[in-house]
Amino acid sequence: MEVIICPSAQRVGEVAAAKAARIAAPIGPDVVLGVATGSSPVQTFAELARLADAGELDLSGASAFALDEYVGIPEGHPESYHEIIRKTVTEPMHLDPARVHVPNGFADDLAAACLAYEDAIRAVGGVDIQFLGVGTNGHIGFNEPTSSLSSRTRIKTLAARTREDNARFFDSIDDVPKHCLTQGLGTIMDARNVILVATGTSKAHAIAQVVEGPVTAMYPGSVLQFHPHATIVVDEEAAGELALADYYRETYANLPDWQRLDV
């Protein structure tokens, strides 16, 4: 894993977007993005939109696949991930809405919706760049602790901690759905590149477990240790429990020219 420690949350967004732009350049305008919701990637997406507007990144034919969606929240609801992806990804990056996909958590047949989602990802040839946040319990997507490390898109029950963490987006915790559809860990691992962003002290323990802990379903993000192209971009606070923080800083400071991100 490549670990990049940044001095601020703003910088995390800039570095993650620069890394994505570097990966996207040889792929071209048809790049397939995997996109997360939540607070973590908001600055990254804003920076990607800025790079696209400045002509430094071509997203004119890009597709996007969201990681997850709540079950039972209709598409137009302000907290539905359909709506959040529309506001944070589709509109600012000027993507064709027909090429932006979110699992259908309002489908009559949820299991069929999950299979259809896997098919849709496969039909475009897979995800080129998967953006991720991480839960305070180490989840990626909504793959809660003890998720199968080879799971595919499916229905999951949200952990109590996740519902507590996400209650800030709702009027009360009782309004936070109990179920979701989420890409599985196997689905996420199929992405050709993964960029995980995290900021703040609340993420420090999860980041240390994901990067330096044993690979375990108790911290599902730790499966990324098996990914050949995983980049973890964190601020100082989220890096607070990393045992090898100095090593990651030194590595980044001494990158060879061809690997350097000009941000």
**Enzyme catalytic residues:** 68, 137, 139, 144
Binding mask of the shown chain, residues 90 to 129, with x at each position contacting ligand F6R by CB under 6 A: ----------------------------------------
| Chosen residue from 19, 82, 139, 156 binding ligand F6R by CB under 6 A | 139
Q: Which amino acid, one-letter code, is at 159?
A: A
Smallest separation, CB 162 to ligand F6R (Å): 6
- Opening angle at CA 92, ends 87 and 96, nearest 5: 90
- Is 37 a binding residue for ligand F6R by CB under 6 A? The answer is yes
Please enumerate in sequence order all residues whose Cβ is within 8 A of that of 203, keeping only pairs 6 or more positions apart, or say none: 134, 136, 234, 237, 238
Stretch touching ligand F6R by CB under 6 A, among 12-20, 38-46, 55-63, 207-215: 38-46
Please enumerate in sequence order all residues whose Cβ is within 8 A of that of 5, keeping only pairs 6 or more positions apart, or say none: 234, 235, 236, 239, 242, 245, 248, 249, 252
CA 17 → CA 65, 131, 177, distances in Å?
A: 17, 10, 31
| Chosen residue from 14, 68, 118, 235 binding ligand F6R by CB under 6 A | 68
Smallest separation, CB 65 to ligand F6R (Å): 11
Q: Scanning the structure block, which residue is given the tokens 């477990």? A: 209
Q: Is 179 helix (H, G, I), strand (E, B) or coil?
A: strand
Question: How many angstroms separate the CA atoms of 9 and 239, rounded?
Answer: 12
Stretch touching ligand F6R by CB under 6 A, among 17-25, 46-54, 134-142, 225-233: 134-142
- Is 14 a binding residue for ligand F6R by CB under 6 A? The answer is no
- Is 131 a binding residue for ligand F6R by CB under 6 A? The answer is no
Q: Which residues bind ligand F6R (CB under 6 A)?
A: 36-40, 67-68, 133-135, 139-142
